[in-house]
């Protein structure tokens, strides 16, 4: 694997982790989004990832899609004072677990940092090779 290939593979990993962080931030931002009972609740986003040309060398990964990972039914909460409440006083909230989202955020953040560290190390190696080649 060349230095440029390492940068390319790490770049694909960083992109996937960034998209994962985007999905998590959407999930956390919508965790308290109330909807009328006649509408579907916000559905947790989950990023699906796949290998690119796995086994063929240094291709990396990509986002295969973003899927809904929670039920559109969500949680029914009794809030008669809410403007969106139905005749019985219920509103619909998403079934998104904040603890799970925070754990996923830590994993995605660490993966993003690790991929950027690979890019940084490859860049340093490339620059060192240039210095050696130039005699300085």
pLDDT in tens, 16-65: 999 999 999 999 999 999 999 999 999 999 999 999 877 666 688 999 99
pLDDT of 116 higher than 90: yes
Give the total residue count for the chain. Answer: 136
pLDDT of 91 higher than 90: yes
**Span 118-132, mean pLDDT?**
87
Q: Note the pLDDT of residue 41.
A: 96
- 3-state class of 75 per DSSP? strand
pLDDT in tens, 69-86: 989 999 999 999 999 999
- Using alpha carbons only, give the angle 45, 55, 3 rounded to the nearest 5 degrees: 90
> Please, are residues 16 and 66 in contact by the beta-carbon 8 Å criterion?
no
Instruction: Name the band, by pLDDT with cuts 50, 70 and 90, for residue 123.
Output: confident
> Please, are residues 16 and 128 in contact by the beta-carbon 8 Å criterion?
no
**Span 98-117, mean pLDDT?**
96
Q: Where are the domains of the chain?
A: 3-133
Counting residues of the chain whose pLDDT is more than 90, the rounded percentage is 70
């Amino acid at each position: 694997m060349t230095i440029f290939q390492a940068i390319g593979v790490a770049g694909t990993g960083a992109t996937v982790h960034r998209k994962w962080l985007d999905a998590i931030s959407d999930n956390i931002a919508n965790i308290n989004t109330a909807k009328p009972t006649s509408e579907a609740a916000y559905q947790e986003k989950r990023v699906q990832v796949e290998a690119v040309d796995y086994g063929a060398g240094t291709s990396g990964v990509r986002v295969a899609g973003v899927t809904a990972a929670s039920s559109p039914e969500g949680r029914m909460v009794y809030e008669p004072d809410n403007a969106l409440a139905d005749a019985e006083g219920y509103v619909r909230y998403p079934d998104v677990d904040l603890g799970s989202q925070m754990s996923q955020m830590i994993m995605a953040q660490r993966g993003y940092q690790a991929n950027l560290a690979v890019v940084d190390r490859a860049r340093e190696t490339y620059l060192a090779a240039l210095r050696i080649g130039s005699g300085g």
